[in-house]
Each structure stands twice: as structure tokens, then as C-alpha cells.
Chain A
Amino acid sequence: MIEVRDLHKSFGRVSAVRGVSFTANDGEITGVIGPNGAGKTTILRHIYTVLSPDSGTTLVDGFDARLERRQVQRRIGVLPDVRGLYPRLTAREHVRYFGALHGLYGEGLERRIEELMHTLVMEDFIDRRTRGFSRGQQMKVALARALVHEPHNVLLDEPTNGLDVATSRAVRELVRRFRAEGRCVLLSSHIMQEVAALADRIVIVAEGRIALQGTPEELRRATGLVDLEEIFMAATAGRAEQPALLAGDD
């Protein structure tokens, strides 16, 4: 379970996150959606421990991301927006490297890599160096290394960004499988259809604040609108075209 409580973060004079609070439950898919530059990636970065808040807390399975960093890191698997692969390492070496950093080794690690290879359909390129990989292949490598230690909490930042239809569909199936396995899934996207197709709970972020949150049914009741895209537009009205608040954020 992931809890974000009254999170504040500024970069210089730019307020990127202003009092964000929400909860992502186990066995649910929570979708964080917002226009480009709304602060979605910044919120996720606090949860996965690479940013420290100015104030507020983020908890993963009850552990504070700032004070108990290692405990949190052991419980999360993250697909960051920038996949960040090593072009001279093979896909298998990527997964093995991250597995070793999680303390996995030997046959157990190799077996886990084989499992992930089959799950993510990586057989054709697992032993190729990642230079020149397609976006879909890059995403699969990044996802495989994020899942190597079988994390209970899975954070996916724009998981289908730049992927073709078939691969996007495969990702969605995988995300549903995580939910079925009882994992807590936190998904960030700027595409409403994607979040609508997957999320049990939706958190709409705009200008670093939460504009609206709840189950799709709760959002419909609150706004009186049926279509989730209309709800998103209403919640972020006048904010969607704001410039990015943080470089590298989307």
C-alpha cells in the first residue's frame, strides 16, 4: 500500500507539488493522471525515494520513503519514464544487474530471469545488447529489471508511452495481472483512455494539486458527467495548457 500525505515540493521558486494526499491500496490499480507538467512524475519520484519532500510524507507498506529508504526500495518495482538502459549490456545482463543489487544470485536469480523473459515475451532479444532496441523492447527490459525481485508495489510512469497498439495492450494485460496477484499498482499517465481502461481509483493532478480523486463512479457522481475524458477536462479546465513546472517532468 502506498500513502502520500500532504506532499509539498519546490524547485527554486517553482512549486511543483502543493499539498498532495492520496492512497493506493493493495489489489487495486490507482491511476494518477494530469496534463503535461502537472507534477505526476515528481510525486512518483518522492514515492520511489529519489526526491525528498519539503514537507509531508510518503509511505510504502508503512515505511517512510525519506527515513526508511532501503525498506521502501525493497518493496517497490519502478518503471521510470526515462527507461535509462546501458547500451553495451544485454537485456539479460540488465535484469541480472538489478537482481544482484537486490541481493539475488545464482540459480534463483537465473530462474527468475527466465520467468520474466517468458512473461514479457523477450526470448528474441534477451541476449542482445540494448543499443538500437525499439521502444517496446526498451520498456520490456526496464520492466523486467523492475520486477526481478517480485515487488509488492509496482509504480509505472507512462508505461505505454511510445508503444504500438499490440504492445500497449500486452502492458495493460500485465498490469491487470499484477492487480489479480494482490499487488498495489500505481500508474501515471497523461492519456485518460488508458487510465479509464485500467484504474480502480483515479487521482487527477493539475498544477501540483489534486483536482479530483475517487473511483470512476465517484468521479461521475461528483461532476455529473459520464465520460471520463469530459471529467478530466472539467477537473483540469484552464490548467491543461500550463507550461511544464519541472524540467523532465510530464
Chain B
Amino acid sequence: MPTVAVVFLKEMVDNLRDRRSIAMAMIYPLIGPLILGMMISFVAGSLSAGAGRAGPMVIPAVGIENAPALAQYLSEHDAVLKPLGEEPAELVRRGGAPFVLVLPQKQASADGALEVRLVSDASRLSSVVPIAEMMDLLHGFEHEIATRRLQALGVPPEITSPLHIEEVNVGRAISLGATFLNMMPPFFIFTLFLGGVYLTLDTTSGERERGSFEPLMINPVSRSEVLFGKFGAGVVFTLIALSVQMLAFWTMLHLVPRASLGLMTPPGVFRLSLLLPICLPLALFAVASQIVIAAVTRSLKEAQTYLGLLPLVPAIAGMLLVFAPVNLHSVLAAIPTFGQTVLMGQVIRSESMSWAMIGISGLATLAVTMLLLAIAFRLYEREQILFPH
């Protein structure tokens, strides 16, 4: 058996028995899908409060008797005003109602303005949709009254309504769904940089610290063979972590109540599998950078500190892209982690993709990986790598 394979198999067996390595590769990747799943469920639950409502919309109100025209308009639009027996602000504050409509104390004159107050708590997410619905009704009523008054003055209807707006209701929900989907690439980046981290730590810093590097290198093996055996094991653990996370995201996206959220169609298995060719070069890059850090640091603890921070750097780009997506061009695609973050977003949102961009991103990342491996090889050649400090 080639030496690289001997080292690789030993590291796989050794680390499959290590609870920390297993946790990093198979348990931690579940955290992202769980968090995102809970967020989607919570937001969906809050925003869809009115979607499943049976019967008319009930509007708690004060002073109903002073606005008969509004009451009439609302009843024609599947809403009823309900008299309120307590202080409006108090009711809203304790969450008894998303808002209260406060009507004037006396009736307005036929051509006067109706004073209407909407008491609400804007900090409650669950109030957003009911308030928006109420505002739509009020604007509708306002427009109807204004039109009627202008027509009474002889102004034709086309003059009063120069613009006919048809609102596409799903618009807001889709953008929210896209925002959630955009949160997936940063989680993938974290997993790519953390999935194999304990294995890499153990096989370089750990090997040195426990004094096993020295007896290992007395065997008739070249340091590059040892390096590549360990590198291969790190990549496999990283890909296991990525696969676990992909599966968990796929499961989550099919379990959350996306219909009520109006979420975009979640990517299918084939679409998600496109992530693998995008992520593979990044997995190699991540493990190579972990080995360099583990080899250059003086102790296991020091390496743990830096490797814990390592995923933050590439994930920052991804986090920014959640809220400000960019169009990918070749220069951006060539930046390791950045190009992949954008491409992953395109896969997840089921957008069209450019194979050229995938190629540029992969090749550029592989080139940097080769450079990192060359550095790792030089570090492995040093005498100091073998001895604990």
C-alpha cells in the first residue's frame, strides 16, 4: 500500500475514535440548519398570523359610533369593528391586540377630515402584517371618499385615479425567503473551515505535542507523503461535515412551513449536489490553511486559538452578501471563499449559473491551495516541527 494511503487510513481510524473530531464533522454542521429552521418557522408563524384566519378581520376600536362610513366600508371589505372596553395603549402593550383603531369623539362633517389614530407596538414582529392590512384598508377608504367627493364636483374618475396599482402580494415574502436562503452560504463556509479542524490540529500540533511526530519520521517515509496522507484525511472529514450539513439543510427546507412564508422554491437534491464541485476546491484550501497554521504555531493551544478565528475571515464576506448580493465577475470569482459564497448563493436560490465562473473560482482557489501546500511542505521539512516546545 502506498505510504500516503497508510498515513491517511491511520489518521481516519484514529480520528473516527475522537469525539471532538466526530462532533466537529457530524454534530456541529447541524447547528446552522437548526438555527435557520427555527428562524424561518418563527418568522413564518409571525407573518402568517392573518393568512389562515377564518371569518372577517376583527378590528378593536374606540369611538365606532362616530365613524359610520368607515364601519360601513370595513364591513364591505370583510372586516368588523369591535368596541373596546379598556385603555387602547394598555391592551396593545400587553399584546392583547396588534393595534387599536381610535376614532374621533364626535362625527366629522360631510366634507371634513376624519381623525383616525392607530395605536400599535412596532417592536412586535407579529404586528407587522395586521398593521399593514389595516393601513391598506384605511388607504382604500380614504381613496374611495376622495374619489366620491371629486366626482361630486364633476371631476371624471380617470383624473382622480391616474395610476392603477396592482400589488403582487408575494413580493415581500419572496425577498424574505431569499434573505433566509442567502444565510446558508456563510454556514457552509463555517463548516468548510471547521469540519476537519480537529483532525488537522491533532495530526500536526497534537502529533508534535505528544511526541509522536519524531518516531513517525524515523520511518522510511518522505515528509510530503506524511503531509498528503494527513491532508487527505482532513479533506475527507471536511467533506463529511459539508455533506451532513447539506442533508440537514435540505431536510430543514422541506420541513419548515414555507407555504405560509411564501418562501422561494427550495433547491432539490440535484441542485444542492452542485455545491460539491463549488466547495471541493474550498475544502482543499481550508485544510491546507489549517495545516499551515498548525505547523507554524508553537503549541496546540496557540493553534486552537488561530484556527477558531480562521472561519470568521471568509464568513464575513458571506454575511455581507446576505443583505447586499453582488453580481459575480471574474476578478471577484477568483478570490477564494468570496467566489464560492456568491456561487453557492446562486445554487441555493436556483438562479442560472456560469460554468466559467465555477471554473475560475475553482482554479484560482486550487492555485492558492497549491501555494499553501508548498508552504506546509517547507514547514514540515523544518527540524522544529518534530519536537514539542
Residue ranges of A at the interface with B (Cβ–Cβ < 8 Å): 45, 48-52, 69-70, 73-74, 76, 78, 80, 82-89, 93, 97-98, 100-103, 105, 129, 142, 145-146, 247-248
Contact = CB atoms under 8 A, between A and B. Distances in A.
B214 interface: yes
Given A50-B218, A102-B219, A85 B6 contact: no
A70 B212 contact: no
A146 B214 CA distance: 12
Given A98-B219, A100-B1, A101-B219, A51 B383 contact: yes
Size category, B interface: 20 to 34
Given A73-B218, A105-B1, A85 B212 contact: yes
A78 B218 contact: yes
Contact of A84 (B7, B211, B219): B211
B14 interface: yes
B18 A102 contact: no
17 contacts: A50-B218, A51-B383, A70-B220, A73-B220, A78-B218, A80-B215, A82-B388, A84-B210, A84-B211, A85-B210, A85-B212, A88-B14, A89-B10, A97-B10, A103-B220, A145-B215, A247-B389
Contact of A50 (B3, B17, B214): B214
A24 to B, nearest CB: 17
B17 A88 contact: yes
Contacts of B356: none
Given A74-B220, A93-B13, A248 B215 contact: no
Contacts of B64: none
Contacts of A82: 211, 214, 388
A78 B212 CA distance: 13
Interface in B22-48: none
A154 B305 CA distance: 40
Contacts of B222: 70
Given A86-B14, A89-B13, A89-B14, A49 B218 contact: yes
B388 A142 contact: no
Nearest to A45: B214
Contact of A88 (B6, B18, B214, B220): B18
B214 A84 contact: yes
Contacts of B211: 80, 82-84
A48 B218 contact: yes
Contact of B220 (A86, A93, A101): A101
B383 A52 contact: yes
B221 interface: yes
B386 interface: yes
B306 interface: no
B213 interface: yes
B217 interface: yes
A62 B214 CA distance: 23
Interface in B196-220: 210-220
Nearest to A103: B220
Interface in B1-15: 1, 3, 6-7, 10, 13-14
Interface centre among B18, B216, B388 (most CB of A within 10 A): B216
Interface centre among A74, A87, A142 (most CB of B within 10 A): A87
B387 interface: yes
Contact of B221 (A48, A76, A85, A101): A101
Contacts of A93: 10, 13
Contacts of B6: 97, 100-101
B388 A248 contact: yes
Nearest to A148: B219
Contacts of A142: 215
